[in-house]
Every structure is written in structure tokens, then in C-alpha cells.
Structure 1
Amino acid sequence: MNIADNATTSWIRRYHPAPGAGTRLVCFPHAGGSASYFHPVSARFAPDVDVVSLQYPGRQDRRREPNVDSIAGLADLVADELAALSDKPAVFFGHSMGAVLAFETAWRLELRGLRAPGAIVASGRRGPSTFRDERIHERDDDGVLDEVRELNRVDRTVIGDDEILRMALPAIRADYRAIETYACPAGRRVRCPVTVLIGDQDPKVTAEEAGNWGEHTEGGFRLEVFPGGHFFLARHQSAVNAQLQRELQALSAPAAALHSGRDST
């Protein structure tokens, strides 16, 4: 079943529908995050870009649905959803866990011979095959919430009061389990280029670890470092949007060049 270019589903959120747009930006939230995190991104790029924000099960209006606690399971489901979208050049943009999920989804689409993204922008995450023995999902409730608060501390991101956080705890824990048990084969690569954005005070990724992304693409690799912690993008929204704009323009450039060539003959 195809999903219309202005449609919203349980997985697909379009806060500013742009059915006439020629390119698409697909946004993958971080662990414990929701589609609404990318509402400002949607407002920035619509109506020129079809901005699709993903809503994972187990949060907000999907809170009664079972959480999916593996990256492979999530990527399979997301790939199915995106395969039903119309065929447009796309950039995948994921933050933290969402960066890995964007990569795994792109790899699955390529494997199926379907329209894969023309570029991936991976924010706040080390390369897929780097490893840290992190077991936050095994902590008690207070331990998990302490981690969430600490990651938000440097950038002073609004994360809601304690009651809201505790309501979101099952989804947060499931997401942490998914990303902390994820293992990427060293030889897994996507064909598209990858741009990586990190904060220079992010405890979750070093520049060296971010460089590992270059081993997982057959396209180009570029690293941009911003002042800030894990949620640096909240403080540098305009600069991050500029990076996204660069990738989106690169997608439309070949088509524009082809059109120009035809006009000149």
C-alpha cells in the first residue's frame, strides 16, 4: 500500500505537509525521543522539502503499543514504512540512536533494491562498528533517568518534569537496550555519503569514534564538530539546518544539471 505525499500514519508524521516537494528529509529520533522533536526542522524546510518525522512505538500517542527493543527489529519496520512512500530523492537525518537506525534502514533499502537515501546525516553518534560496554538499560529506574538528565545538562535541553520522564521510561529503557545491544558487522556499508555532526563535549562520542563512519560508506565522509554536548543541535539549530540544506541541495543538483543540459541542446 502506498502512502500519499500528504499523509500521516502511526509511523509517519508530517507536521507541514508538502506534497509538491521534489526532495524528502526523513528524521529519526534519539533514544526516548519522538517525532515531535523535529517539528522545528519541518517548519524550516517545508514546503520546499517533504519532511517526514518517524514516530516509534511505545511513546506519546503510541504509548500503549509494545516497544521494539532491537535496532534490527526497528530498522525492518521502518524500511517497510518508507518503502511505501513515493519515490523521491531523500536525505536521512538521525540523532544518536536515530543515526544508527537511519544507517541500518538505508542498508536494508539498498539490499531490497529500493530507493535508498542519497545521503545520511548522522548526529551525536559514534560509528556503527565502534563498541562501548554500556549497560544503562540494566539500571534501575532512577539510574536510567539520571543518564537522561546528565546528557541534557550541558546543553540545557528541556526534557520535561519528573512525572513526564517516568511515563516515558519504558520507551527510554527499550531504546537504550536496542542501541546498547546493537552490533554492526565491520564490512557493512551503504553506497551514499555520510555527514557526521558531533558536539565537542559529548560524552557519547569522540572525534575518533565518529571517524569510524567513514568505514561504513562507499560514498564520501565528512565530519563537523560543534560546541556543546550530546544535544548540541538544540543550541546550533541554524547551523545544523545549513548542513541539512547542503545535502538536500546536492540531491537536486544532478536533476537540475540534466534539465539545464537538455535546455541547451
Structure 2
Amino acid sequence: MARFSPALDPRGLLAAKRWIVRPQRVAEPRLRLFCLPHAGAGAAAFTPWAKLVGHDVELCAVRFPGRENRIEEPLFEDLQRLVDELERAVTPLTDRPYAIIGHCSGSIVGLELARRLRDRGRPRPRALIVSSIPGPSRRTSESIHLLPRTEFFERVAQFGGIDESVLDSPEMMELFETTMRTDFRMVEQAPYVPAEPLDAPVVAVGGRDDPFVSYDDLEAWRGETSGDFTLHHLDAGHFVLDEVMDLVARTLV
């Protein structure tokens, strides 16, 4: 197996421990999967995958500040500052082939991370997998983070992926509201800056029953790569994480 030798920064090793959750350490992984969650979510959205991917694949679920065991840390409001820190955390783990997976707003973070790693001369990902979000060139001016409280919660419920017990609890939603609004604002207010397409495959996944993301929206991700592009339009709604895991298990691992 080819080995990469990124220049390691001791701060990066410490950052990796804070930012990256590896539920099952693999001594000699053939592939690492960096998984970026949707707005308001944390590493827990992906940790169940660790038992479903290949035994020689190491799941690396990203945990952003302001949630789970980082609940006391301030949220990021600027996408590029977030990517600055995320790049430092991910770099020590790019000594093995890797792929980047994002769901919804996490897909935008994933694209920016892939661009940043490329611009720093790091090894390219085996694939960038994005789901349930329009390609950046088709982003609209809709601002979910500005919706009134009732409408905001209604939209969050329509996205799916949140337990009904949370949606039915004003106390729990109070805890999630600030985090979700901040995550949405960070991505919605970040300007789309066209850049050289990635020299890596891009896989876009979405649901035919998703009322927010169309086939053409997903097709727009084709422009983000000079390599292979694959689109999977599935019999699903907006929340397609389980289906994405199945695709990963069948194709990348």
C-alpha cells in the first residue's frame, strides 16, 4: 500500500484528537472516511457506520465545537475559519488514502476542505461524497437561519433525521436552536467562489422525494470535479444518510 507522509504539526495531532472521533481504531487502515455532519449534528450521526464499513476502513467522524463533548466551545460562524482548523486536524490522518463524506451543509464544508487540502499540496481524496444539497453554483438566496422560530422548527422537522422526542420537547429544541441556526448561517452566508475543479471523483446522492433538492441541483455538483462524477437519485427523502452508508460500503470499501 502506498503511504503518504504529510508534514506533521504537533498542534495538528492535538487537534485531531479533539475534532476526529474514531470509534474503532484500525492499526493499518486501507482507507479513512472523514464524515462531516449536517447542521446541528455531531459525530454521533456517523459513529454507527463504524460497524458497517470494512474491517480495514477507519471511520473518522468530525465533531464540530458547540456539541456533544465540545458543548462549551464557541460555535464557528465563518466557514473558512472552520476549514482552517479542520485542515489542521485532518492533515495528520492523510497518511493513508481517504474519502470525504458530507451530508447537507456538511457537503459544503467537505468541498472546502478538499479544496484546502489540494491547495496545501496534500494527497487528494479517493472521492468526495455529497448528499441532499444543491451544487454550490445552484445555491439560492434562501436564508433558513432567519426564519421565525415556529417556521424554523417546521423546516428542521421536514428535513428529517431528528428524533421526534427532541422535536416535541421545547427544552431540547431550545438547546439545539442556536447551534442549528449558527451552522445554517455559516454556510448560507459564505460566498460561493468558483475554483479549479477537484482532481478527484465526486459522488452526489439525493432522494427523489426530497422537496428541497432536485435532480438538477444534484447534477450541478458535476462542475466541481474534472474527474469522474456519479449521481445517485434514490427512493428516499431529504435524509439519506443510511442510503449513503450503503453506497459507501458497496463502492469505496
The answer to whether 1:226 aligns with 2:230 is no
Shift of 1:134: 1.1
Mapped to 1, the partners of 2:16 and 2:83 lie a distance apart of 19
Show the counterpart of 1:50: 58
TM-score between both structures, scaled by the size of structure 2: 0.87
Q: Residues 173 and 247 from structure 1, CA distance in 2 versus in 1: closer, same or farther, beyond 3 angstroms?
A: same
Mapped to 2, the partners of 1:210 and 1:198 lie a distance apart of 7
The answer to whether 1:67 aligns with 2:75 is yes
The answer to whether 1:193 aligns with 2:201 is yes
After TM superposition, list the pairs within 5 Å mapping 1:1-265 onto structure 2: 1=10, 3=13, 9-45=17-53, 47-152=55-160, 157-158=162-163, 160-161=165-166, 162=169, 163-233=171-241, 237=242, 239-249=243-253
Mapped to 1, the partners of 2:210 and 2:98 lie a distance apart of 28
Q: Residues 179 and 31 from structure 1, CA distance in 2 versus in 1: closer, same or farther, beyond 3 angstroms?
A: same
Which structure 1 residue ranges, 4+ long, deviate > 6 Å from structure 2?
A: none
Mapped to 2, the partners of 1:216 and 1:103 lie a distance apart of 8
Counterpart of 2:32, as a letter, is R
Shift of 1:53: 0.2
Q: Residues 19 and 179 from structure 1, CA distance in 2 versus in 1: closer, same or farther, beyond 3 angstroms?
A: same
Mapped to 1, the partners of 2:145 and 2:185 lie a distance apart of 5
SS at match of 1:144: helix
Contact conserved, 1:136 with 1:143, CA < 8 A, in 2? no
Counterpart of 1:109, as a letter, is L
RMSD value, Cα:
2.1
Contact conserved, 1:16 with 1:42, CA < 8 A, in 2? yes
SS at match of 2:112: helix
Contact conserved, 2:54 with 2:249, CA < 8 A, in 1? no
Aligned-residue sequence identity (percent) comes to 29
Count of matched residue pairs: 240
TM-score between both structures, scaled by the size of structure 1: 0.84
Shift of 1:138: 1.6
Show the counterpart of 1:263: none
- What is the CA deviation profile of residues 106-150 of structure 1, one whole-angstrom value per residue up to 9, with x for unaligned ones? 000000001231211111111122121111212343332222112
Structure 2 residues not aligned, in runs of 5+: 1-9
Mapped to 2, the partners of 1:208 and 1:78 lie a distance apart of 30
Structure 1 residues not aligned, in runs of 5+: 250-265
Contact conserved, 1:71 with 1:179, CA < 8 A, in 2? yes
Mapped to 1, the partners of 2:55 and 2:165 lie a distance apart of 30
SS at match of 1:122: strand
Counterpart of 2:41, as a letter, is G
Counterpart of 1:143, as a letter, is E
